[in-house]
Amino acid sequence: MTKFNELNLNPKVLKAIEEAGYETPTPIQEGAIPPALEGRDVLGIAQTGTGKTASFTLPMITLLARGRARARMPRSLVLCPTRELAAQVAENFDTYTKHLKLTKALLIGGVSFKEQEALIDRGVDVLIATPGRLLDHFERGKLLLTGVQIMVVDEADRMLDMGFIPDIERIFSLTPFTRQTLFFSATMASEIERITDTFLSAPARIEVARQATASETIEQGVVMFKGGRRDREASAKRKVLRALIDAEGEKCTNAIIFCNRKTDVDICAKSLKKYGYNAAAIHGDLDQSQRMKTLDGFRDGSLRLLVASDVAARGLDIPSVSHVFNFDVPGHAEDYVHRIGRTGRAGREGKAVTICSGRDEKALDAIEKLIQKEIPRLDNPVKDEPKPEKAKPEKQADAKKPERKKSDGKKGESKKGRGRRDDSGPAVVGMGDHLPSFIALSFDERRAS
C-alpha cells in the first residue's frame, strides 16, 4: 500500500500530513497527486468523502514551495461554488502549510472588500475564491490573474451546472494559456465533460469509483409519505421527520437535514426548535458570519441538527456526521449523492433517510436509476390515525317518508312549494282550450252590454 512519503511531496508538507494524523493516501489522492506534481492537467472524479481537496492542495503546496508571490498577482487560484467550501479549502491550506511560508487569501461574499484587498496588495501564493467575488475584485482593478501558474476548479460539475459557465470562461481568459488546470468533482455528466475539454489539455483522468455512487458504508432508506390534505401536508411531513429522528435514538449523535427551498429550511428549523430539538438553519440568504458560526457549532458538537439547503451539500468536510435526512427529495439526482455523502465519510458508517411524497416519486426513480440501486422502503413511523366514523341513523322497520304537502297556489304558502308542478290534480287548461265568454263577444256587443 502506497504511503504519502512515496509520492514525492515536499518534506515539510509530509511533516504536516503526519501531524494531522494521516499515513496512507486515499485512492483519488494516490492517483491524482503524481500527475499533478509532473505539471499535467488532471480530471479527478470520485465520490464525496474520499479526500479530493487534499488531492490538489498537497501537490499545489509542493509546487509553490519554490518561488515568491508578487503584489496583486496570485501564483495559484482555486475556484469553489460556495463560500463554505471555499472556507474549508482555506482551512486545508492552513493545515498543510504550517511549516512553509506560503500566503493565502480567501475571497468570498459577506466579508469586507478592504480586508481582502489588503491581503491581495501584500501578494499571495494561493487565492481561494468564489467566481462572483473574484470578478468583483478584478473589475475594481485590485487583482491581476496573469501570474497564475496553477488553477483548480473544485466541484467542477456544480460550478458549470449552476450557471457559472460565463464567469468561468471569463476567468480562464484572464489567466495564462500555459497554466496547469485541475478539475475535481464527485459527478461528471457527459455534457459537462464536453465543456471541460475546452479547459483541459490532455488531462490525466483519475476515476476511482463509478460515477455518482454513494459510499457502501452509508445505510440508505426512504419513507413513502402520503400527506392527505394539502394545507396540512407540510406539518404532517415535519411530524414524520421528528419521528424518524426519535426512532434513531442515541445512534443519531448529529444530523444534517436537507430541504429544497430556503423558506422550508427556516420553517423546518423553527419547528424543530419549537419541539425542543437542538437545531439551526443554514442557507445562502443568511449573513456569512451567521453561517460560519452555525457551521462551527455543528462541527464542535454544540449543535446537533443542521437544517440546510444544498449550499451545504457540496464538498463540506464535517467529520462524524451520523445521519442525513432528506426532508425533500432533491430535484437533481446528482444532488442526492452529494447530500448523503455528508455521512459515512473516511470509512465511517452512516445512515441516510429520505421522505418521499407522491409528487416526488419521479425524482426518486431518477435517483435510483443514477445510483443503479433500489433504495429500501422503510415503514412510516407515524401511524395514520383512524378517521372517526360518522354516526349512521338507525333504520326503522315501518318508517314512512313524510308526505309532501301539496301547494294550493294560495297566498301564504310555504316557499318550498312554490314553482313546483303538481300533476296529481285536474289537468291545467290553457288559454287555447278555454276562452272566457266576454272575449268571444264582438266590440258592439260588449258596448251594448
Q: Do 57 and 80 share a structural domain?
A: yes
Would you place residue 272 in the very low, low, confident or very high pLDDT band (cuts 50, 70, 90)?
very high
For the cut 70, the answer to whether the pLDDT of residue 45 exceeds it is: yes
Q: Do 254 and 151 share a structural domain?
A: no
What mean pLDDT is predicted for residues 322-335?
92
Mean pLDDT, the chain, rounded, equals 84
Looking at residue 414, what is its pLDDT? 47
**Distance from C-alpha of 104 to C-alpha of 171, rounded to nearest angstrom:** 19
Instruction: Name which of 24-28, 306-310, 391-395, 427-431 the model is least confident about.
Output: 391-395
Tell me, yes or no, whether 71 lies in a domain: yes
Looking at residue 441, what is its pLDDT? 63
Q: What is the dihedral of CA 57, 60, 65, 66, to 10 degrees?
A: 180
Tell me, yes or no, whether 434 lies in a domain: no
| pLDDT tens, position by position, 277-316 | 999 999 877 887 888 889 889 989 999 999 998 866 565 6
Q: Which three cell numbers stand for residue 335?
A: 444532488
Nearest alpha-carbon partner for 268 in 384, 313, 260, 250: 260
Which stretches of 226-345 are assigned E, i.e. beta strand?
255-258, 279-282, 305-308, 323-326
**What is the DSSP pairing of strand 279-282 with strand 350-357?**
unpaired
What mean pLDDT is predicted for residues 364-374?
92
Nearest alpha-carbon partner for 86 in 166, 152, 16, 167: 152
* Confidence (pTM): 0.67
Would you place residue 447 in the very low, low, confident or very high pLDDT band (cuts 50, 70, 90)?
low
Residue 368 Cα to chain centre, angstroms: 17
Nearest 5°: CA angle at 92, between 345 and 96? Answer: 115
Looking at residue 415, what is its pLDDT? 47
Edge to edge, the sheet with strand 180-185 lists 104-107, 126-129, 76-79, 150-154, 180-185, 42-45, 204-207
Tell me, yes or no, whether 311 lies in a domain: yes
Percent of the chain with pLDDT over 90: 51
Domain end among 180, 207, 234 = 207
**Side-chain-side CA neighbours of residue 17 (13 Å):** 24
Strand partners, 212: none
Would you place residue 385 in the very low, low, confident or very high pLDDT band (cuts 50, 70, 90)?
very low
| Structural domain boundaries enclosing 8 | 4-207
Tell me, yes or no, whether 49 lies in a domain: yes
Q: Do 293 and 184 share a structural domain?
A: no
Domain end among 342, 363, 378 = 378
For the cut 80, the answer to whether the pLDDT of residue 203 exceeds it is: yes
Secondary structure string (H, E, C) spanning 86-154: HHHHHHHHHHHCCCCCCCEEEECCCCCHHHHHHHHHHCCCEEEECHHHHHHHHHCCCCCCCCCCEEEEE
For the cut 60, the answer to whether the pLDDT of residue 410 exceeds it is: no
Place of cell 402520503: 226
Q: How many structural domains compose the chain?
A: 2
Nearest alpha-carbon partner for 135 in 85, 88, 170: 170
Q: Do 160 and 60 share a structural domain?
A: yes
Tell me, yes or no, whether 182 lies in a domain: yes
Looking at residue 432, what is its pLDDT? 55
Q: Do 309 and 186 share a structural domain?
A: no
Q: Do 68 and 172 share a structural domain?
A: yes
Q: Do 153 and 102 share a structural domain?
A: yes
**Distance from C-alpha of 48 to C-alpha of 418, rounded to nearest angstrom:** 77
Would you place residue 185 in the very low, low, confident or very high pLDDT band (cuts 50, 70, 90)?
confident
Instruction: Name which of 4-18, 242-256, 336-350 the model is least confident about.
Output: 336-350
What mean pLDDT is predicted for residues 100-106?
93
Residue 175 belongs to domain with CATH number: 3.40.50.300
Q: Do 139 and 282 share a structural domain?
A: no
**Distance from C-alpha of 251 to C-alpha of 434, rounded to nearest angstrom:** 95
**Distance from C-alpha of 363 to C-alpha of 368, rounded to nearest angstrom:** 9
The single-letter code of the amino acid at 368 is E
**Distance from C-alpha of 154 to C-alpha of 79, rounded to nearest angstrom:** 6
Looking at residue 112, what is its pLDDT? 86
**290 sits in which H/E element:** helix 288-300
Query: 365 with 358: CB under 8 angstroms?
Result: no
Q: Do 97 and 72 share a structural domain?
A: yes
Tell me, yes or no, whether 384 lies in a domain: no
For the chain, how are helix, strand and coil distributed in percent, rounded to 5? 40, 15, 45
Tell me, yes or no, whether 432 lies in a domain: no
Would you place residue 412 in the very low, low, confident or very high pLDDT band (cuts 50, 70, 90)?
very low
Query: 340 with 49: CB under 8 angstroms?
Result: no
Q: Do 225 and 163 share a structural domain?
A: no
Instruction: Name which of 8-12, 69-73, 192-196 the model is least confident about.
Output: 192-196
| pLDDT tens, position by position, 47-73 | 766 788 999 999 999 999 988 888 889
- Helix 83-96 / helix 288-300 crossing angle, nearest 10 deg: 60
**Distance from C-alpha of 9 to C-alpha of 141, rounded to nearest angstrom:** 36
Name the DSSP letter for residue 179: -
Tell me, yes or no, whether 102 lies in a domain: yes
Domain end among 147, 173, 207 = 207
Nearest alpha-carbon partner for 274 in 284, 283, 266, 263: 266
Q: Do 241 and 131 share a structural domain?
A: no
Would you place residue 143 in the very low, low, confident or very high pLDDT band (cuts 50, 70, 90)?
very high
Label residue 152 exposed, middle or buried (CB < 10 Å: 0-12, 13-18, 19+): buried
Q: Do 164 and 261 share a structural domain?
A: no
The single-letter code of the amino acid at 423 is D
